[in-house]
Amino acid sequence: MLYDTTLVADRQLLDGVARGEAEALRALHQRHGESIYALAYGMLADPVDAEEVVSETFAHLWRIAARFVATTNQSVSVWLKEIARSHARGLLLAREWPGRLSAPSPRGFPISR
């Protein structure tokens, strides 16, 4: 299903992601990707790491959207930023302890660049 992101609320898009609709994920990425990047870049001061945080944030969203929809009424934007902060902190820790922390790459993530 194609989404007109100017007319569809975040929560409706999240419901679509929970149903496995890649287009809904793309719409959320389009709407929130830049702010997630800005948050990550502000924490990490590295554009490559900031892009990684954006990718990991939306991959995480793809994997657990149904659980989020079923358990909370929290703002989608706030939730995405919490996920991004968590991933950015993980990268900061990995910088402090190289080789100690490693994360598997996401699989089945439908957004291509």
State in words which class domain 10-96 has: mainly alpha
CA 31, distance to chain mean position in Å, is 11
Whether the CA torsion 67, 61, 90, 101 is positive or negative: it is: positive
What is the rounded average pLDDT of the residues 69-82? 90
| Residue ranges per structural domain of the chain | 10-96
Token duo for residue 93: 């820790």
Whether the pLDDT of residue 109 is over 60: the answer is: no
pLDDT at 113 exceeding the cut of 50: no
Q: Are 89 and 27 in contact (CB under 8 A)?
A: no
